[in-house]
Amino acid sequence: LVHFRINRRASKPFNSTTVDYFAALKKLRA
């Protein structure tokens, strides 16, 4: 839910950052 909140809050100005965040989450999960 946290990543969704950040993505919705700043989906346009932080598009690249959001992608990086998801990649980091995937790495931690994997």
Number of independent structural domains in the chain: 1
Task: Please state the three-class secondary structure of 1-30 as a single string.
Answer: CHHHHHHHHCCCCCHHHHHHHHHHHHHHHC
Percent of the residues in the chain that have a pLDDT greater than 70, as a whole number: 43
Span 4-29, average pLDDT: 70
pTM: predicted TM-score of the whole model, two decimal places: 0.38
Q: What is the pLDDT of residue 21?
A: 80
Crossing angle between the packed helical segments 15-29 and 2-9, to the nearest 10 degrees: 170
Model confidence at 24: pLDDT above 80: yes
Q: Which domain holds residue 27?
A: 1-30
